[in-house]
Structure 1
């Protein structure tokens, strides 16, 4: 279990009460991932989403899909094994 914080949102933020915590977690996860504070895996866990759900949100936000050199090597290895 992590730390719990209480945030008071101004009246201008019109969100259903039962959606506030989930939306704040997703927004925070996106921003912390974007700034390199959290890894992809950490961010998606904070958001409470599967890998594919978080990828979909990043794509909608125009953040791109994380793909590093290690993933490229793995993909090339799989391609070699398949051919």
Structure 2
């Protein structure tokens, strides 16, 4: 998978106020962006999960914890997502 590296500067006092390091901020930002892009229908569930650094099932749990509706789909989109969930369940066996 091809990737792009994004970098930007964050004032140290912001990290101190948040009581997290750069890695924690990156993880928080990835999850927050993934939730917003999913809520705004800019990314699918699978791509949002990938952006968040999670598998689909964990991302679905994360969405639920954030109060987001996970299954707001038309019938064809729902079938596609369920296929992905079935694939994940088969991989766990």
Do they fold alike, i.e. is TM over 0.5? yes
Q: Which 5+ residue runs of structure 1 have no aligned equivalent?
A: 75-83
Instruction: Give the TM-score, by structure 1 length.
Output: 0.71
Distance 2:62 2:8 in 1: 23
Q: Which moved more, 1:10-19 or 1:41-50?
A: 10-19
Give how far 1:3 is off: 1.6
Aligned Cα RMSD in Å?
A: 2.1
Give per-residue Cα distances to partners, 1:2-61, cap 9 Å, x unaligned.
Answer: 222113234234222331222211111111111111111110011110111101111011
Aligned pair count reads 73
- Pick the structure with greater CA Rg: 1
Give how far 1:67 is off: 4.8
Q: Which 5+ residue runs of structure 2 have no aligned equivalent?
A: 83-93
